[in-house]
Amino acid sequence: MIKDYIILAFRNLKRRGLRSYLTLLGIFIGIAVVVALIGLGDGLRMAVNSQFGVSTTQVLTVQAGGLSGYGLPGTGVVNSLTKDDVTAIEKISGVEIAIPRNIETVKVEFNKKLIVGYAASLPKGEDREAIYETLDLTIQYGQNLKDSDTFMVVLGNDFSQKEKSGFDKAVKVGDKLIIQGKEFRVAGMMEKKGSFILDRVILMDEDELRSITTNDENVDIIAVKVRNKDDIEKVKSDIENLLRERRNVKKGEEDFQVSTPQAMLTTVNQVLLGVQIFIVIIALISIIVGAIGIVNTMTTSVLERKKEIGIMKAIGARNSDIFLQFLIEAGLLGLLGGFLGIIFGSLISYLGVNGINSFIGSTIRPKIDFMLIGFSLLGSFLVGAVSGLTPAMRAARLRPVEVLRQ
């Protein structure tokens, strides 16, 4: 019985042709925006998260001067962190290790081309392993730096690609680079991380980095690994207290920053969420406009088909038959809009995520969320059906004799 109504409803929608399509435009746009946005938002969030190159939640980052928007972290700071700070932090209970790291801008020459890159220091011994672990670095070609290696580097994945290396030529394991006038050999190259920081980094021994740059005892970043990740907030405030004392600053006037990766992500995600909520509100408005469109079309349709309704009633249709007929028709209008919206929205989100990938070199895969699709379909059917409620009731209440007389 319901099947018959659905077939009939499809016929009627088809008969109205363009008008049906125009009617479902509002629902279509609304659903498309929601689907595209959720897909894109998730993709964007994943992309942003991967930019931080964080795989562990046990690492805190300490740097002087607060979060700088420009330049490399910890550079251009008047009151730098020192090795003594590192030793002091390491004594805080709950801290497993504190690793000083330097990040320097360096001139790199290869294939007779000179570029400006940045080099990050690797500590020696166990600390080195800890860095590999916290950054989740995996070697794709060659091998990691060993303590015994001299004047060797490990490169980010971008250098292994001709187009992205900046040298018009891919760098291979064993190649020689001139960094700050000194010759270095490539020991290994990392797997692609999808992060512009990690994919372009040049990793080298901390002493060698210090020797080729002007840096003396300054430390740009201190990576602090906590023993237990549940203690991360406590350790964070302990470090803050310690540094306040050491640097003689009051609370609220800190010239340094202790950040958890989570905190950074949370900030970014909050901004993203704000944008998403805003666009979802716009999408909802579009759906409401779409619903009004369905009410309008169905009301017109009832008026146009008064005679048809009369005939159906004369040949035995009950009020509920007519009501169902119009309700299903309205629901199908919504459903169709939703269906097309999902297809279009998914396409946008797919293209958008690919765009993000090619723009920042991440490897996010567009996500197909079946829950989202299911709810969108159900939601758009319900919007249609609810919009069709009043017109359907009007149609059902028509008296056969009144409409047949026309």
Partner 1 sequence: MNPGLIELKEVAKYYHMGESIVKAVDGMNIKVHDGDFVAIMGSSGSGKSTAMNLVGSLDLATKGDIYLDGINIETLDESDLAQIRGKKIGFIFQQFNLIPNLTAKENVMLPMMFQGVSADDRSSRAEKLLKLVELSDRMDHYPGQLSGGEQQRVAIARALANDPDVILADEPTGNLDTKTGEKVMAFLEDFNKKGKTIIMVTHDPKLAHEHAKIIYQIKDGKVERKLKKVNKKWKPFR
Report the interface residues with partner 1, using CB under 8 A: 1, 3-4, 8, 11-12, 14-15, 307-308, 311-321, 399-401, 404-405
Asked if 161 contacts 19 with a C-beta cutoff of 8 angstroms, the reply is no
Asked if 376 contacts 339 with a C-beta cutoff of 8 angstroms, the reply is no
Length of the chain: 406
Q: Residue type for 122, please?
A: L
Nearer to partner 1, 303 or 378 (CB): 303
CB of 310 to partner 1, least distance (A): 8
Nearer to partner 1, 117 or 310 (CB): 310
CB of 282 to partner 1, least distance (A): 37
CB of 307 to partner 1, least distance (A): 7
CB of 406 to partner 1, least distance (A): 10
Closest by Cα among 119, 127, 52 to 90: 127
C-alpha distances out from residue 44 to 67, 160, 164, 176, Å: 22, 25, 22, 37
CB of 269 to partner 1, least distance (A): 52
Q: What is the token pair recorded at 46?
A: 């994943």
Q: Residue type for 60, please?
A: L
CB of 360 to partner 1, least distance (A): 53
Q: Hey, which residues does 63 pair with through a beta bridge?
A: 221, 257
Q: What is the token pair recorded at 137?
A: 């670095």
Nearer to partner 1, 110 or 323 (CB): 323
The DSSP H or E segment spanning 308 is: helix 306-314
Nearer to partner 1, 116 or 315 (CB): 315
Nearer to partner 1, 206 or 329 (CB): 329
Q: How far apart are the first and last CA of the chain?
A: 30
